Structures are given as C-alpha cells and as structure tokens.
Amino acid sequence: MDSAAWVTKAVEALRFATEKEILRWLDEEGENFSRLELATTLQKLVGEGKLECKAGVYRPGRKHAGTQAFDKLFGE
C-alpha cells in the first residue's frame, strides 16, 4: 500500500486521532513514517476530502453519496 492508503486505514481504525496517535498505530503495524511524510500525507488527504481535521484531530471524511443519490433520484 502507498502512504495515503496506510494513513487512511489508520484513521479509519482509530476513528478520531491526532498525528501522534496515527504515528503510534502505524508503528505498531510495522510501517515507518517520518513526521514530515505523515504531515504531507494528512494534508493531501484533507485536501481531497478523504479526511477531516479540526483542532489537530483527524477523522474519516463524510461520505456524500447518499444525498447525491437522493437528489439524482428525485431530480432536485
């Protein structure tokens, strides 16, 4: 897996996590990430909408497929 996939997997497993908690989880899984690599990957994922960040705590991004399907179905 690439770095984005590992970080996404870590955040999904932890649900709400700081950078330090994500680094600890990745280390326990045997993946070595530098703080810089983690920070750039987190910012990339937040920019893509796959993760959300508030006050230094990351969580999985919200999925909007349900509202899009509803709008498409009823033409609104």
pTM score over 0.85 = no
Query: Does 11 have pLDDT greater than 90?
Result: yes
4 contact partners, CB below 8 Å, separation of at least 6: 41, 44, 45, 50
Q: What is the mean pLDDT of the chain?
A: 88
The 10s digit of each residue's pLDDT in 13-56 is 999 999 999 999 999 999 998 999 999 999 999 999 899 999 99
From residue 2, alpha-carbon distances to 24, 38, 41, 69, 71 in Å are 18, 12, 10, 30, 34
Quick one: pLDDT at residue 69? 67
Residue 19: what pLDDT?
95
Please, what are the domains in the chain?
3-74 (1.10.10.10)
